[in-house]
Structure 1
Amino acid sequence: MIPGLEVLGLEGLTPATATLVVVAGFCAGWVDAVVGGGGLIQLPALLLVPGISPVQALATNKLGSIFGTTTSSITYFRRAKPDLRTALPMAGIALAGSFCGAILATSLPAAVFKPVIIAALAIVAVFTALHPTAGTLTQLRHSGARHFGTAGGIGLVIGFYDGLIGPGTGSFLVIGMVALLGYSFLAASAKAKIVNMATNLGALLYFLPHGSLLWGLGLLLGMANMAGGYVGARTALTRGSRFVRVVFLLVVAVLIVKLGWDVLQENSG
């Protein structure tokens, strides 16, 4: 046990586990800032903390993530100047969707949705692989009310998903904006950070009154996530859309393998 960490309410936390959580938080922040999907790294690491429940892990994961998404959002805004006329309304709708998803998450097992998510991710991977020029440049597919309506629909559906389950939210946001709205991968990633920040906040607003948050651990995770988010945003901005596309395909592939393994384990059990 590490002296002084009693404030976390986790007396069994060891130096090795604390280090794992910090490293996972940094890596998750980097991945989230580039293309989303950091929860795939961060949430499993939290579940290794002695005495933590799945609901506490989910709530604490959201607290840590909001630090990273806020940092990367600010970094993207300062350097890439994303269009807030699309991002902010989309974020507001996504926040409401995430809050509703978090409510349902307490009563509906995530396992019900995993096969559907795997199929959706496979379609996303095939689409991205077969369209190498998609997301290279911003070529908007719609304008006016249709553009904002499509953006709002993406925010609502994926926001609900984030509150309900979570892994891959940033990746779904990115591909939604690339495939349905016509943004480049870099422009989509910049807007996705703003929307993802809102979905994290929406879930947190539900979890806060229920006492599920482990504040000390969440703040420790948040500091690591902030550092990773800053470095990841700078990397994406420097390397451009092609780099983001490659990382996107890698993250989606890992998500498919991870969720597929979960389904096999649940069915075999």
Structure 2
Amino acid sequence: MLSTIVIICIFGFLAAAVDAIAGGGGLISLPALLLVGIPPHLALGTNKFASTMGSFNSSITFARSGKVNFRLVKWLVPFTFLGACLGVWSVLRVSPDFLNKIVPILVLFVGIYSIIHKTLGIEDQFQGLKRSSILLGVTFSFALGFYDGFFGPGTGSFLIFAFITIYGFDFVSASANSKVLNFTSNLASLLLFAWNGKILYQYGIPMALSMLVGSQVGTRLAITRGARLVKPIFITMSLFVAFKLIWQSFN
């Protein structure tokens, strides 16, 4: 059991550090839990428990640095939470298989678009809030909250991309605000997993502690190194998510 905990803690640290910077950490932490032999339904719940702790820590650190726009996220958080609850409720009744072919294409588009537009997200071009931009934000936060509860992979990439394209944030600010919404959807999913007894706390607690440390390291790197660090990692993780999902759909 000790060796199992060591393995999941190492991968948990790496996952949280990457996730804090650019999203996609679940593609590291969840396979680690499956690798040590934890059944899929328990691995999903345990991973959600640990990753929620990491995203909470990242949200707090980003907020203290002044990178979170509370005037904006106060409108988005309730709709993200509602969307995630509906997503989890729906996935218990509808197979998510049809998303396997659509999502990789969308994530691949996000990565390629970010490569082509070399100045995308490098400078913060936020010019304030308008009623139309708030309504658009409410729409995407509800939709991505639902998606995270229903399916999940690529949520961080979609959130960061949305904050950049809709509000003109740079990658650091987009990552900061997306982390708050990601924590919200994680929390909604966690509550439902916990209610249904799908969390192995003997693994989830040590993994959560390692992810707290990893998220702190990743967040600090994002804040101090800026968008020129975040963007290449964001592109790498977007492409990694896309190709991993494509590979899974053919196997």
Amino acid at match of 2:213: A
Quickly say closer, same or farther: Cα 1:234–1:142, change in 2 above 3 A. Answer: closer
| Contact 2:154-2:241 at 8 Å conserved across structures | yes
Q: Which moved more, 1:133-142 or 1:193-202?
A: 133-142
Distance in 2, Cα, partners of 1:261 & 1:81: 36
Q: How far off is 1:142 after superposition?
A: 7.1
Distance in 1, Cα, partners of 2:161 & 2:106: 11
Distance in 2, Cα, partners of 1:113 & 1:81: 32
Distance in 2, Cα, partners of 1:236 & 1:81: 11
- Structure 2-normalised TM-score? 0.95
Q: Which residue of 2 aligns with 1:230?
A: 216
Of 24, 44, 48 in structure 2, the residue corresponding to residue 37 of structure 1 is 24
Matched, 1:63 2:56: no
Q: Which residue of 2 aligns with 1:158?
A: 144
Q: Which residue of 1 aligns with 2:65?
A: 79
Distance in 2, Cα, partners of 1:164 & 1:79: 32
For residues 70-101 of structure 1, the C-alpha deviation after alignment (integer angstroms, 9 at most, x for no partner) is 11111111113421111232122111111111
Q: Which moved more, 1:191-200 or 1:162-171?
A: 162-171
Matched, 1:221 2:207: yes
Work out the number of aligned pairs and report it. 251
- Structure 1-normalised TM-score? 0.89
Q: Which residue of 2 aligns with 1:119?
A: 105
Q: Greater CA radius of gyration, 1 or 2?
A: 1
For residues 32-57 of structure 1, the C-alpha deviation after alignment (integer angstroms, 9 at most, x for no partner) is 1101110010111111233x332211
Quickly say closer, same or farther: Cα 1:263–1:141, change in 2 above 3 A. Answer: farther
Matched, 1:54 2:40: yes
| Contact 1:80-1:237 at 8 Å conserved across structures | no
User: Which structure 1 segments of 5+ residues have no match?
Assistant: 3-14
Cα RMSD after superposing both structures: 1.5
Q: How far off is 1:179 after superposition?
A: 1.4
Of 116, 119, 132 in structure 2, the residue corresponding to residue 130 of structure 1 is 116
| Contact 1:150-1:181 at 8 Å conserved across structures | no
- SS of the equivalent of 1:113 reads helix
Of 187, 191, 198 in structure 2, the residue corresponding to residue 201 of structure 1 is 187
Q: Which residue of 1 aligns with 2:242?
A: 256
Q: Which runs of 4+ in 1 moved over 6 A?
A: none
